[in-house]
């Protein structure tokens, strides 16, 4: 797919196939293509069994080469939607990019609900440009670049109605074709909630290049922590290091008096207690400030407009703890 072409839900994944891949398709180039249980009754079964080459993915060396110039690669995960994962990713990107000596990239892999462009202030008419070196990210600051499917949609209201195969194909293109420059200090990968196709694709494609780890975002209630436990289990099974957990919306900050009160009360001890039980690093709690939503809607840095908010202080403390954890991992001083 060319970045200059606007995508639609009817775009074919592979022109050699008779029909879109089924929901649990192992992939046309997989060793199990045409043999898996999901292949039974599929219109592509014979094609996948006999005509499409199998074996190692030929794009992997290109992905490894592209990502080798990125010093730190961090996945931002959440077990449940609505916990403020993308909001936190945007604030994390702004906070790290506040250091003008660092080059930061944000990759929005929430394909069906891309929100980072709005939160980071990218214009609605932004497009991805292609050159001999690859796809150019959209820069929302001198040292902060962004890649999202949102830049490839015909309009902002277009729905992406894709099965797993098409999502995986776009993720591979983002990893293989995006030119982040000669050196990128941090790549923040915002993923959708849960443990689905996008997570499997990005972890399998990036694993050999080295992922620093995952930052997990939750809220204090047990209904959110139930799904966080599954996310933690996914990371351990996928051998992705868990850098730490952040408890978002932990209390409410009054924008007038700066007082704090509890809205989502932790019935089982919240994120900090969960970290103690599972042996995970607790990076901190971030209170809910209504001005965060306003800053995200307008695509502004919350820290610059509200430096005195307790939420700003809490987020910056989390960023410091996260960077310390990443540096410790690089030196081999701490093993999860």
pLDDT reported for residue 29: 63
HEC secondary structure over the chain: CCCCCCCCCCCCCCCCCCCCCCCCCCCCCCCCCCCCHHHCCCCCHHHHHHCCCCCCCCCHHHHHHHHCCEEEEEEEECCCCCCCHHHHHHHHHHHHHCCCCCCEEEEECCCCCCCHHHHCCCCCCCCCEEECCEEECEEEECCEEEEEHHHHCCCCCCCCCCCHHHHHHHHHHHHHHECCCCCEEEEEEECCCCCCHHHHHHHHHHCCCCCCEEEEEECCCHHHHHHHHHHHHHHHHCCCCEEEEEEEEEEEECCCCCCEECCCCCCCCHHHHHHHHHCCCEEEEEEECHHHHHHHHHCCCHHHHCCCCHHHHHHHHHHHHHHHHHHHHHCCCCCC
Q: How far is CA 141 from CA 188, 301, 315, in A?
A: 15, 11, 20
Hey, what are 149's tokens? 């499917």
Whose tokens are 């045409």? That residue is 34
Q: Residue 241 in contact with residue 264, Cβ under 8 Å?
A: no
pLDDT reported for residue 210: 84
Hey, what are 242's tokens? 């868990």
pLDDT reported for residue 56: 64
Q: How far is CA 159 from CA 4, 202, 251, 311, in A?
A: 19, 22, 34, 33
CA distance 111 to 149: 6
CA distance 212 to 206: 10
Task: Please report the domains of the chain, with CATH numbers, ordered by start residue.
Answer: 30-60 (no CATH), 68-330 (3.40.50.300)
pLDDT reported for residue 317: 94
Q: How many Cα atoms within 13 Å fall on the side-chain side of residue 146?
A: 30
Q: What is the CA radius of gyration of the chain?
A: 20
* One pLDDT digit (tens) per residue for the chain, 336 residues: 666 656 654 443 444 566 676 666 766 666 667 777 777 778 777 777 665 555 567 788 889 889 988 999 999 999 888 899 999 999 999 999 999 999 999 999 999 889 999 999 998 788 888 888 899 999 999 999 999 999 998 888 888 888 777 888 899 999 999 999 989 999 999 999 888 888 888 988 888 788 999 999 999 888 889 999 999 999 999 899 999 999 998 878 777 776 677 776 667 778 899 999 999 999 999 998 889 999 999 999 998 999 988 899 999 999 999 999 888 777 664 444
CA distance 145 to 313: 24
pLDDT reported for residue 101: 94
Q: Residue 305 in contact with residue 291, Cβ under 8 Å?
A: yes
Q: Residue 202 in contact with residue 75, Cβ under 8 Å?
A: yes
Beta-sheet pairing, 144-148 with 184-190: unpaired
pTM, full prediction: 0.82
pLDDT reported for residue 93: 96
pLDDT reported for residue 136: 94
């Amino acid at each position: 797919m060319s970045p200059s072409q606007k995508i639609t839900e009817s775009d074919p994944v592979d022109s050699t196939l008779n029909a879109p891949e089924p929901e649990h398709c192992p992939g046309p180039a997989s060793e199990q293509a045409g043999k898996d249980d999901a292949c039974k009754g599929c219109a592509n079964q014979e094609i996948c069994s006999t005509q499409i080459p199998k074996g190692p993915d030929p794009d992997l060396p290109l992905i490894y080469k592209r990502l080798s110039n990125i010093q730190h690669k961090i996945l931002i995960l959440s077990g449940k939607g609505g916990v403020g994962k993308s909001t936190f990713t945007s604030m994390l990107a702004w906070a790290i990019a506040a250091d003008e000596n660092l080059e930061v990239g944000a990759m929005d892999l929430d394909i069906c609900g891309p929100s980072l462009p709005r939160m980071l202030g990218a214009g609605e008419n932004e497009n991805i440009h292609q050159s001999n070196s690859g796809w150019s990210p959209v820069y929302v600051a001198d040292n902060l670049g962004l890649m999202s499917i949102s830049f490839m949609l015909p309009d902002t209201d277009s729905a992406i109605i894709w099965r797993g195969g098409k999502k995986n194909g776009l993720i591979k293109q983002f990893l293989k074709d995006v030119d982040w420059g000669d050196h990128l200090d941090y790549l923040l990968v915002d993923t959708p909630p849960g443990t689905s196709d996008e997570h499997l694709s990005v972890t399998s494609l990036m694993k050999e290049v080295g992922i620093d780890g995952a930052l997990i975002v939750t809220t204090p209630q047990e209904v959110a922590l139930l799904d966080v436990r599954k996310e933690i289990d996914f990371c351990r099974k996928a051998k992705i290091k868990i850098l730490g957990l952040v408890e978002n919306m932990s209390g409410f900050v009054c924008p007038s008096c700066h007082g704090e009160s509890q809205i989502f009360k932790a019935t089982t001890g919240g994120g900090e207690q969960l970290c103690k039980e599972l042996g995970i690093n607790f990076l901190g709690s971030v209170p809910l400030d209504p001005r965060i939503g306003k800053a995200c809607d307008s695509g502004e840095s919350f820290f610059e407009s509200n430096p005195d908010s307790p939420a700003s202080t809490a987020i910056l403390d989390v960023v410091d703890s996260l960077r310390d954890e990443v540096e410790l991992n690089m030196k081999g001083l701490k093993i999860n």
